[in-house]
Structure 1
Amino acid sequence: MPPSPCTLLLVLSVGFGLWKLNRRHRATVIPHGEERVLILGASSGIGREIARQYAARGATVCVVGRRMDKVTAVMEKCKNSLGLSADITIVKDMVRVRTVLEKEWAGVDTVIVAAGVSATRPLLEVAGVGLQQDSDASEEGIQFAINAAETAARSNYLGPMIAAISFIPLLKRSSKSPSILLISSLGAVIPAPTRTMYGSTKGASLLLYQALAIEHPSISFSFVLPSTVEGDFRASAVDQEPLPENLPAQVANERTTLNSTNSTSGLKVYRVAQRCIQAVDYSEKIVFIPHIMRLGHLVYWIWPSLIERKAMKKYGFTPE
């Protein structure tokens, strides 16, 4: 008689627990004080907090962001840090960062890819078509949507690709335990309304890095998929229309505030950063935050309509 589903679940849970207890900590190979950590997208959000936590435990940290003033602010809170102004989407910038690391550190042990942009509107709305309208999108509206998608794809997909090509060879030849962590999103594996551009571009980079993990087994790849995180990530949305010149000042201020206000709901940044570092320490492959979302991912493939309803409710989305 085959075992019941409950019995199988219990066996799997116990087995997973024993595996976690017996995992080897990476510090047995690279002590915390000797770890060289490159963080791409470290000037804000999760990347900034990861930089702070790595520095606090003694690692040598390279903080990379597009704005030098923000990079400098992070460096002030991180001992043994190196700060560089660079854009992950520009090949010349990433080659320059690599050159600096080779000169200053003689290599790198850990690469954290935390850079990216958001997009927060339904796709047809970006193109100027309301959900309740029957009219077609204009040529200008379609072009605006394409421009926004190209910006999202460049930051969320091509940027991580450039980073991988730039740093994988350096990691492999200079580290005793090379590791790459990609901060992705739950939206990369569970579709959500108003996150069409964001989820699809983050999903592309996730699959890219998962394939790279097979092509380069000597490197430990980790993928962290958090749900909504507190902070001002929405301010980076690339699918917002420019404010019309004749828009009333009050309306303009309200919209600007909406897109830039720090969100206090969602996962705590410091906890997500802790989990990211833990994933690297123990060479974990895929990490869902919160952990229960791993079950949500499974349920989507078994009962997709349930997850779709939950997603519509979460984002306050009313279909046509």
Structure 2
Amino acid sequence: MKRHLMHAPLLFQRLPNPRAGFAHRLTTSSLRPFCCDAVSSQLLDRNQLENSEMKSNENSWVLITGASSGFGEEFARQYAAQGKSLVLVARRLSKLEALSAQLRERFGVDVIVEQVDLSSIPAIIELHERLSERNIVIDVLINNAGHGLQGPFLDQPLDHSLTMIDLDIASLTALTRLFAADMRARKRGHILMVASLLSFLGVKNFAVYSAAKAYVLRFSDALHRELKNDGVVVTALCPGMSDTGFAESAKQRITPALKMVMMQPQPVVRAGIRALQAGRMSVVPGFGNKAITVLTWATPRRFHQSLMAQVMGV
């Protein structure tokens, strides 16, 4: 697959008022750090939100990528508990089939299983075509699939880094482009982008991953503004360290500091779903994670990057 990468400067974040004292800025802004401040907690106008309200009819589906484990599996369970019909997408067919059987039996919901290599753009296009031919209307897209590795950039095989870019950036962009166009045509839809706390930080030994997640967050923020008048909600979920198995797959060492802020997937996913339903731009679940985001603007970059490196054990 040919890769066409374009470099663009990130949007500047709103800076705190330099005339305001630090204590004032901390007490007022810490409740809404720039990752989920007044910008990221904007709600759609009431009539827009009503127009884009999730419909529980028989032909309205939730598509979840990376659904075989971690956050994806938990999204499937929580949406099934709401009675939503599901399209579960991942590479591991056996795990998808086992999960779908559990959800059908427990919640009585319709579940479609799609074994797809999401690092392949042609495979994503074929997925969209198959669902369209079956008249499967995707009302909610959960862009959850991702890949991460810990280690010095120059020590990682180039193929691994490019695969991460393919999955975390190119595939997410393709999925969003295809299904968001359908949603805009219907004047209704919801897209949740699973970013990361590392979206705000360039962390040592997570160079490609943190850069990829920064793209996800900025992309999501821009689309939130572009599509909100078309009845389409776009929300970024920015979790910190969570007990999803990601650390093991990324070969990450769990430090005592990480254990202190580690969250279970259930409250993280619940926060993401609530933020999406409320029409918010983004959400950072967990008090500890919110506190870290405050540090990203309240302290010099070299300080909070050094602090995060210690927390991450790198």
TM-score bracket relative to the smaller structure = 0.7 to 0.9
Contact 2:30 2:294 in 1 (8 A): no
For the 8 Å contact 2:66–2:145, the answer to whether it is kept is yes
1:275 deviation in Å?
1.1
1:88-99 correspondence to structure 2 within 5 Å: 88-99=118-129
Q: Which amino acid aligns with 1:92?
A: P
Equivalent in the alignment of 1:157: 169
CA distance in 2, matches of 1:186, 1:58: 30
- 1:50 Cα deviation from its structure 2 partner: 0.3
SS state at 1:52 partner: helix
1:300 paired to 2:292: no
List runs of 5+ in structure 2 lacking aligned partners: 1-18, 104-108
Q: Judge conservation of contact 2:90–2:96 (CA < 8 Å) in 1.
A: yes
Deviations 1:234-287 (A, max 9, x none): 3443xx7xxxxxxxxxxxxxx9xx89xxx9872101111111111111111111
Query: 1:72–1:7: structure 2 CA closer, same or farther, 3 Å change rule?
Result: closer
Instruction: Please tell me whether the aligned partners of residues 43 and 280 of structure 2 are also in contact (alpha carbons under 8 angstroms).
Output: no
Match of 2:8 in 1: none
**Cα 1:28–1:293 shift into 2, 3 Å:** same
How far 1:185 moved relative to its partner?
0.5
Structure-2 separation of matches of 1:8 and 1:298: 8
Deviation per residue, 1:152-191 (Å, 9 max, x gap): 11111111111112211122224x5311100011111123
User: What residue in structure 2 maps to residue 29 of structure 1?
Assistant: 53
Match of 2:178 in 1: 166
Match of 2:101 in 1: 76
TM-score normalized with structure 1 length: 0.73
- 1:68 Cα deviation after fit: 1.3
- Which one-letter code corresponds to 2:309 in the other structure? M
Q: Cα distance, 1:63 vs. partner?
A: 0.6
Matched AA of 1:226: P
Amino acid at match of 2:233: S
Compute the RMSD of aligned alpha carbons. Answer: 3.5
Q: Would you say 1:281 and 2:277 are equivalent positions?
A: yes
Q: Deviations over 1:87-120 (max 9, x none)?
A: 2222232223223332444421110000000111
- Structure showing greater relative contact order (alpha-carbon pairs closer than 8 Å, 6 or more residues apart): 2
Check the 8 A contact 2:86/2:112 in 1, yes or no: yes
1:125-156 per-residue CA deviation (whole Å, 9 max, x = no partner) reads x25xxxxxxxxxxxxxxxx2x32221111111
CA distance in 1, matches of 2:110, 2:56: 12
Shift of 1:298: 3.9
Q: Give, as a single letter, the amino acid of the residue that structure 1 aligns with 2:162.
A: E
* Structure 1: 5+ residue stretches without partners: 128-143, 241-254
The residue that corresponds to 1:269 in the other structure is 265
Query: Which amino acid is 2:277 matched to?
Result: D
Question: Which has more radius of gyration?
Answer: 1
Match of 2:246 in 1: 233
Q: TM-score of the superposition, structure 2-length normalised?
A: 0.75
Q: CA deviation at 1:194?
A: 2.0
Pick closer, same or farther for the CA change 1:291–1:222 going to 2, 3 Å: farther
Match of 1:179 in 2: 190
